[in-house]
Amino acid sequence: MQDNYGKTHVLRSNLEIKLANILNEYDAIWDYEITTIPYIIPESDHKYTIDFTLNNGVYIEGKGYLSDHAERRKYVLLKEQHPELDLRFVFDNGNKLCGGTKMSHNKWAEKYNFKHCDIKDVDQIKAWVNEDTTKE
């Protein structure tokens, strides 16, 4: 997959390809998996590589499925340990239930105060691309 500036990226899922195409359509300046944020799971150190880093300071993670508690906990720990991080989610289907719970992806994101939308909500993704985060 090529970005708007001719750089080739190897994306890992169909959802990420769809999201990259939307970002390209709206002339976003983006790079793929270049931002790695350290975080600590008590008693062990970990690093997490974010899917999309926009040049306005917004980080976007494309998620088809939040499969288990450990995965969801990872994002909550990132938010707690890096409150300055503007991590947002684009879900394949936000109404899908998270693994092992009766909570949808959307409800989970709202519970932990993550901005989120579905991949079909291209207007929201475009707004994120064009957002001036320096005002916040």
Say what the pLDDT of residue 135 is: 63
Share of the chain above pLDDT 90, in %: 67
Annotated domain spans of the chain: 14-135
Are the C-beta atoms of residues 62 and 27 closer than 8 Å to each other?
A: no
Cβ atoms of 53 and 30 closer than 8 Å: yes
Average pLDDT, the chain: 90
pLDDT digits (tens, 9 = 90+) for 105-123: 999 999 999 999 999 999 9
State the DSSP string of 12-73: SSHHHHHHHHHHHHTT--EEES--EEEEEETTEEEEEE-SEEETTSEEEEEES---SHHHHH
Report d(CA 92, CA 116) in Å as an integer. 11
CATH architecture of 14-135: 3-Layer(aba) Sandwich (3.40)
Paired tokens of 107 = 């409800």
Question: What is the model's pLDDT at position 134?
Answer: 76
- Averaged pLDDT for residues 79-91: 94
pLDDT (tens digit per residue) in 21-51: 999 999 998 898 999 999 887 777 889 899 9
For position 12, what pLDDT does the model report?
A: 86
